[in-house]
Structure 1
Amino acid sequence: MISSEFRPSVFHPYYFIRKGLFRKIKEHSPVLKGKLLDFGCGSKPYRSYIHADEYVGVDFENEGHPHDNEQIDIFYDGKRIPVEPELFDSVLSSEVFEHIFNLEEMLVELHRVMKPGASMLITCPFVWKEHEVPNDYARYTHFALKHLLEKNGFRVKVLDKSGNFMEVLFQLQVLYFHDSLYLKFFRKIPLVKDLFRLFFFALPNLVGAAASKVFPRNTRMYLNNIIVAEKC
């Protein structure tokens, strides 16, 4: 089963971004089948929802992200995935592209290891804080990702988003409470930390969820890109 970190409750500071990612990955996961490459796999958080015949995780050894207790099958050097050409029927890459400085070069490499007609499901943040520093290089619109994919031998089948303007506003507010107040002052104080999570995480998350349904929906500001592409 997926951990609560990636399918969070309203008490989690990453509620909106993780909830949206989980829902969209589950929605588009049927394209992931056969022999699958999880590119930038980390702990393989969505594995239980993906029904591939074989699941291979590859990742880059990153000083900004410890790999303790992660399930990485293959490490790569940031340029070449050490496998033969046209090996995989599908690829998942979730929250990885923002950490790749040489993204076009890696798209060529992913194209190399995919079979003709293979599908790739990508998620990539549009609005989020710097993370896994210093290896956080970019934020992309879905127009930019579509251009880069088509330029490097892929056909884009789905352009999707998670989150909306109202969810972004509340997610960033809770993120500030978490990073600037909870982590610095309250997380080690019994009872106080639970009250803080109730009033500064759960309550804004609930209000934000309600507000996103009541007010007109605007997705020009959003949290994540979700793209399904196919190797030409």
Structure 2
Amino acid sequence: MFKTFLRIYKYQQFHINILSIFINPFYFIRKGLYQGIRQYAPMLKGRIMDFGCGSKPYRDLFTVDHYIGVDIEVSGHSHDKEEIDVYYDGKTIPFENNYFDGVFSSEVFEHIFNLDQILSEIHRVLKPGATALFTIPFVWDEHEIPYDYGRYASFGIRHMLEQKGFEILNLDKSTHFLEVWFQLWNLYLHNLIFTKNKYVNIFLNLIFIFPFTLIGIILTNILPKQRGLYHNSIVFARKK
């Protein structure tokens, strides 16, 4: 029973559902990411690279021939619960030119100091016409310290990708002003009161965070939406 519950709890952390409203302190930002990735994932086919894959939380959204997770081995960071197929050295992706039919990378670019070089590498290992799905944060707190190097507005990420030989097919902003406001408040409470015990955290979420999540859901569906402040850019692109 406990194993089943833990499996459900872990799944809803990234695959947002009704249960997430009650027990997920990151409901708004994760909902925006999940909906955006789910929209574009079916457009990637063939041999896909999940760059910065970690535990591959969105793997089941992709129906592809080969799904290869690539990540960097970081000293002092446990990779025990991650599903990395191939490690790279932070500079060169260890695949030949024109190898992949597509690439997926979610919430990774902010952790890359030499992003210009890595975008060139991603472009190199993609076949001409290959598709790319990236999610990039704009508003979020520092995390995975000290490996947090930047935030990118939609215009900045569009410019960077186009300069590296990508054609932007769609660029969406996930969440809007009010959702960001409620999510940042919930993040503040999470950082203030949460413990290392999952069961205690679920109880704390129900008492302290769920009410604000519910109020946020109601108000964000009633009041006008402003898109100038948002959590993430979701980019669907193609290698020229």
- C-alpha deviations, 1:9-55, integer Å up to 9, x for none? 02211111111111110011122110000000011111111011110
TM-score (norm 2): 0.90
Please give the root-mean-square deviation of Cα atoms over the aligned residues, in Å: 1.8
Query: Is 1:7–2:15 an aligned residue pair?
Result: yes
Aligned equivalent of 2:3: none
Residue 180 of structure 1 deviates from its aligned partner by 1.4
1:200 corresponds to? 208
3-state secondary structure, aligned to 2:12: coil
Runs of 4+ in 1 over 3 A off after TM superposition: 187-191
Match of 1:228 in 2: 236
User: Does structure 2 conserve the Cα–Cα contact (< 8 Å) formed by 1:120 and 1:228?
Assistant: yes
Match of 2:4 in 1: none
CA distance 1:209–1:132, shift in 2 (3 Å): same
CA distance in 2, matches of 1:134, 1:179: 17
2:115 to 85, 93, 103: 103
Counterpart residue number, 1:169: 181
* CA distance in structure 2 between the aligned counterparts of 1:5 and 1:68, rounded to whole angstroms: 19
Q: 1:201 to 1:117 in 2, by over 3 A?
A: same
- In the aligned structure 2, how far is the partner of 1:29 from the partner of 1:225? 15
Distance 1:135 1:153 in 2: 26
82, 86, 111: which one aligns with 2:98: 86
Tell me if the contact between 2:42 and 2:61 (Cα under 8 Å) persists in the aligned partners: no
Counterpart residue number, 2:82: 70
Shift of 1:143: 0.5
What is the deviation of 1:63? 3.8
Matched residues, number: 228
Aligned-partner residue type, residue 105 of structure 2: S
Matched position secondary structure for 2:14: coil
Identity value in percent: 49
Contact 1:174–1:204 at 8 Å: present in 2 too?
yes
- The correspondence for 1:132, drawn from 144, 152, 156, is 144
CA shift at 1:195, angstroms? 4.8
Alignment gaps of 5+ in structure 2: 1-7
CA deviations over 1:124-180 (Å, ceiling 9, x no partner)? 111111111100000001110010011111111111011110110110111111101
Q: Distance in 2 between matches of 1:107 and 1:190?
A: 40
Letter in 2 for 1:202: F
- Mapped partners of 2:28, 2:76: distance in 1: 24
Give the Cα separation in 1 of the matches to 2:198 and 2:171: 44
Distance 1:121 1:62 in 2: 24
Per-residue deviation, 1:181: 2.2
Q: Does the CA contact (< 8 Å) of 2:169 and 2:237 recur in 1?
A: yes
Distance 1:82 1:88 in 2: 12
SS of aligned partner of 2:143: coil
Q: Which amino acid aligns with 1:205?
A: T
